[in-house]
Amino acid sequence: MRRAMARRAARRPPERERARAGEVVDRLERAMPEARIALEFKDDLQLLVSVILSAQSTDARVNLVSPALFARFPDAAAYARAEPEVLWPFIQTLGLFRAKAKSIVGAMRAIEAAHGGRVPRERAALEALPGVGRKTAGVVLVHLGADQAFPVDTHVGRVARRLGFTRERDPDRVEERLRLLVPRERWGQGHQLFVWHGRRTCTARAPACERCVLEDLCPKVGVPRERRGTSPRPTDPSA
Ligand code: SF4
């Protein structure tokens, strides 16, 4: 017990880093009070399906195909009865559509068999569903309001690294670090804000540091010199 507490204390980031992370979330929230998940869904099941479909596809593309899919498959039982191929025509404009169809049907069969047709609200049960990994489970839990998570997708990971919060590339490790930096009650909101910031400003190819609200807080790790703003470069805190 004492050893576990000592390990946790040793991993705890310095106070100044936690303060900087808090300021980052504050500023992003002020800049984007409207930040919310862009996927369109009406219930837990539609949320889960949309999140599975969104892997390596934009939310806008998912929103284009999901209404017809949701109309054809109104509940878990309808998906569970289908073979994955039946879903293909509905989602074939999305990348990895065969694998996604297989994941959705597999998840729905498990939901029918073990959860009475309802999406489970516990992380372990969600992650046990076919095709549902840690990130998908985290996003679903955050938007169900069922548990706190800081899911790490490509945007969250990139923004966290450029901000110098981590050097890790493994999403689980990035999430672990962000969880230590940001208070638990802000994890879900922090996830959403990092996603929006990564899409709008801190984009993969062309980060717009000169108009970024975090410019003076950010060491811009890995950002080409010509893209950085005008403030003196803060020390890379992860160095
Ligand atoms: S200052 Fe540049 S690198 Fe840092 S978060 Fe903003 S856009 Fe990204």
Q: Ligand 1 centroid vs 43 CA: distance in angstroms?
A: 35
pLDDT in the model for residue 237: 44
Is 135 one of the catalytic residues? yes
How many CB atoms are located within 10 Å of the residue 232 CB?
6
Say whether both 49 and 132 belong to one domain. Answer: yes
Q: Which atom of ligand 1 is nearest to the CA of 229?
A: 1
User: Could you tell me the pTM of the whole model?
Assistant: 0.80
Residue 138 tokens, joined: 């985290």
For the chain, what is the total number of helices (H) and then of strands (E)?
A: 12, 0
Is 102 one of the catalytic residues? no
Residues with CB under 6 A from ligand 1: 159, 162-163, 201-202, 207-209, 212, 214-215, 218, 220, 223
Say whether both 31 and 49 belong to one domain. Answer: no
- Domain boundary residue, one of 144, 161, 180: 144
Q: Ligand 1 centroid vs 78 CA: distance in angstroms?
A: 45
- Cα–Cα distances in Å, from 60 out to 15, 65, 94, 162, 211? 39, 9, 11, 26, 25
- Domain boundary residue, one of 144, 172, 189: 144
- Asked if pLDDT for residue 239 goes beyond 50, the answer is no
Nearest to 142 by CA among 36, 24, 30, 33: 36
Q: Which atom of ligand 1 is nearest to the CA of 218?
A: 4
Say whether both 106 and 154 belong to one domain. Answer: no
pLDDT confidence of 39, banded at 50, 70, 90? very high
Instruction: Tell me the H-state helices in 32-167.
Output: 44-53, 59-72, 76-81, 84-91, 97-115, 123-127, 134-144, 154-162
Q: What is the pLDDT of residues 54-80, one digit of tens each?
A: 988 889 999 999 999 999 999 999 999
Q: What is the CATH number of the domain that holds 190?
A: 1.10.1670.10
Residue in 194, 203, 220, 228 to alter for ligand 1 test, most ligand atoms within 8 A of Cβ? 220
Q: What is the pLDDT of residues 109-135, one digit of tens each?
A: 999 999 999 999 998 999 999 989 888
Cα–Cα distance for residue pair 144/99, rounded to 1 Å: 25
Say whether both 64 and 133 belong to one domain. Answer: yes
Q: For residue 82, give its domain range.
A: 44-144
Atom 8, ligand 1: which residue's CA is nearest?
202
* Torsion sign over Cα 94, 99, 105, 109: negative
Q: What is the CATH number of the domain that holds 75?
A: 1.10.340.30
How many structural domains comprise the chain? 2
Phi, psi of 35 (to 5 degrees): -60, 125
